[in-house]
Amino acid sequence: QAAQAATARGWQLYVVGGSVRDLLLAKQEGNKSPAMQDIDLVVDGFDQTADVGAGVELAKTLQPLYPESRLEIHGAFQTAALLWHKHPVLGSLWIDIATARTEFYPYPAANPEVEASSIRQDLYRRDFTINALAVRLTSNHAGEVLDFFGGAIDLKERKIRVLHPNSLIEDPTRIYRAVRFAVRLRFTIEAQTEAYIRYAINSGVYQRSLLAHKKAPALQTRLKTELKYILQAPYWERAIQLLASLGALQCLHPTLQLNQKLWWLLRLVDRWLRRFDRQDNLVHWLLRLEVLLLGLETSDRQSVAYNLQLPNDSLERLSHLETYQTKIESGLSEFEQVSQIVKLLQNYDLPTLILVALRSEHRPTRQTIWKYLTIWKQVKSPLNGNDLKTLGYPPGALYKEILEDLLAATLDGRVSDR
Q: Cβ 261 to ligand ATP, closest distance in Å?
A: 31
Distance in Å, CB of 100 to ligand ATP, minimum: 13
Read off the DSSP letter of residue 234.
T
Choice from 136, 174, 253, 301 touching ligand ATP (CB under 6 A): 174
* Cα–Cα dist 149/152, whole Å: 9
- The number of beta carbons lying within 10 Å of the beta carbon of residue 89 is 7
Cβ of residue 127: shortest distance to ligand ATP, in angstroms?
4
At its nearest, how many Å lie between ligand ATP and the CB of residue 319?
30
Q: Measuring CA to CA, which residue among 331, 324, 332 is closest to residue 356? A: 324
- Amino acid, res. 91: G
Count of alpha carbons within 13 Å of 41, Cβ hemisphere only? 26
By CB under 6 A, residue 55 contacts ligand ATP: no
Q: How many positions of this chain bind ligand ATP (CB under 6 A)? A: 11
Q: Does 127 bind ligand ATP (CB under 6 A)?
A: yes
d(CA 87, CA 145): 27
Tell me whether residue 126 or residue 366 sits nearer to ligand ATP (CB atom). Answer: 126
Q: Does residue 131 bind ligand ATP (CB under 6 A)?
A: yes
Q: Is 101 in the site for ligand ATP (CB under 6 A)?
A: no
Q: How far is the CB of 125 from ligand ATP (least distance, A)?
A: 6
Cα-to-chain-centroid distance, residue 37 = 16
The mark string for 14-43 relative to ligand ATP (x by CB under 6 A, - otherwise) is: ---xx------------------x--x---
Per-residue DSSP letter, 144: P
Question: In the window 360-389, what residues touch ligand ATP (CB under 6 A)?
Answer: none
Q: Does 126 help bind ligand ATP (rule: CB under 6 A)?
A: yes
- Min dist CB 390 to ligand ATP, Å, is 59
H or E element at residue 130: none
In eight-state DSSP terms, residue 50 is: -
Is residue 161 a contact residue for ligand ATP (CB under 6 A)?
A: no
Distances (CA, A) of 153 to 118, 130, 160: 23, 9, 11
Task: From residue 67, give the alpha-carbon distance in Å to each of 62, 79, 80, 107.
Answer: 9, 20, 16, 34
- Span interacting with ligand ATP, options 54-62, 85-93, 170-178, 377-385, rule CB under 6 A: 170-178
Residues found near ligand ATP in the complex (CB under 6 A) = 17-18, 37, 40, 126-127, 131, 171, 173-174, 177
